């Protein structure tokens, strides 16, 4: 089966009304203060989408908003919020509804990672992964997708990870949370087929972001990864943006990551676990 350079699974539909690249449409991006979320903000601004930037750090968001407005003819709003808190997504949706702001594209990029042996990570940190990567993302979908389905137009881009395709020792909770994101997103992509709403899952591999720097700071073995395994954050974001605009269901940037994904789905589970365990133990 031929594989494209970025996308391995497709569920394309015609672009919903108002979804062309112009500044009549609005994209809401969570986790926009850094990493892939910040890079995606640049992609959507370049595509002439008005933006709603969401993250915990208001100062970082304001600085990014000024930069985006300076170089692009778009309107950028900042909403500081911690989406790991119960009710945060609903509060955000209610605020935008009062302002009569319609979200045409929802980008769920907010996430946290803890690297290390499961038994060495505190229960609170495991819970923080669940609260943001799973509960927060699900709440955002529940808050914004019904309105998209009702009007018959909208796009969703959920950022998962190549870790979603196989168990990864030393990233057990994180990988499990991203497997949830992938499964939920693929289910919604089919559930909303022909509704005018598309759901895309971006599954990047190891990417040069602050998250990687922080993990490498806690484990110097990660700093010795060969360069060809580490993706450029802007290239990853551009592939995700393109896949979202085209209505692709799953986007895996990079030939190496695609090969790993295909291998994990076509290899017996016991062997996938053994291989993951071999590499995982070397990373501890």
Which residues are identified as catalytic? Answer: 174
Give the C-alpha separation, 233 to 31, whole Å: 14
Give the C-alpha separation, 152 to 17, whole Å: 8
Please name which of 127, 117, 125 lies closest in space to residue 219, comparing C-alpha atoms: 117
Give the C-alpha separation, 111 to 259, whole Å: 25
Give the C-alpha separation, 265 to 146, whole Å: 31
175 token code pair: 């990988």
Give the C-alpha separation, 137 to 141, whole Å: 6
- Tell me how far apart the terminal alpha carbons of the chain are, to the nearest angstrom: 36
- Specify whether the backbone of 76 is left (phi greater than 0), alpha (psi in -120 to 50) or beta: beta
């Amino acid at each position: 089966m031929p594989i494209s350079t970025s996308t391995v699974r497709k569920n394309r539909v015609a672009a919903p009304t108002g979804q062309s690249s112009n500044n009549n449409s609005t994209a809401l991006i969570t986790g926009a203060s850094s990493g892939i979320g910040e890079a995606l903000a640049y992609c959507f601004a370049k595509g002439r989408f008005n933006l709603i930037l969401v993250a915990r750090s208001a100062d970082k968001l304001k600085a990014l908003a000024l930069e985006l407005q300076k170089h692009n003819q778009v309107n950028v709003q900042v909403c500081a919020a911690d989406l790991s808190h119960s009710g945060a997504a609903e509060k955000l949706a209610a605020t935008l509804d009062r302002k009569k702001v319609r979200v045409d594209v929802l980008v769920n990029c907010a996430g946290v990672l803890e690297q290390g042996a499961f038994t060495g990570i505190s229960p609170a940190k495991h819970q923080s992964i669940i609260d943001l990567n799973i509960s927060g993302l699900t709440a955002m979908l529940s808050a914004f997708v019904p309105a998209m389905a009702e009007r018959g137009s909208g796009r969703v881009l959920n950022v998962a990870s190549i870790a979603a395709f196989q168990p990864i020792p030393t990233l057990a909770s994180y990988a499990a949370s991203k497997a949830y994101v992938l499964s939920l997103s693929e289910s919604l992509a089919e559930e909303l087929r022909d509704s005018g709403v598309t759901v895309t899952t971006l599954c990047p591999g190891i990417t040069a972001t602050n998250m990687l720097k922080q993990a490498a700071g806690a484990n110097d073995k990660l700093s010795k990864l060969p360069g060809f395994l580490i993706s450029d954050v802007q290239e990853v974001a551009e592939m995700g943006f393109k896949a979202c605009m085209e209505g692709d269901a799953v986007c895996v940037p990079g030939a190496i990551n695609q090969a790993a994904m295909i291998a994990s789905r076509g290899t017996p589970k016991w062997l996938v676990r053994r291989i993951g365990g071999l590499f995982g133990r070397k990373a501890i």
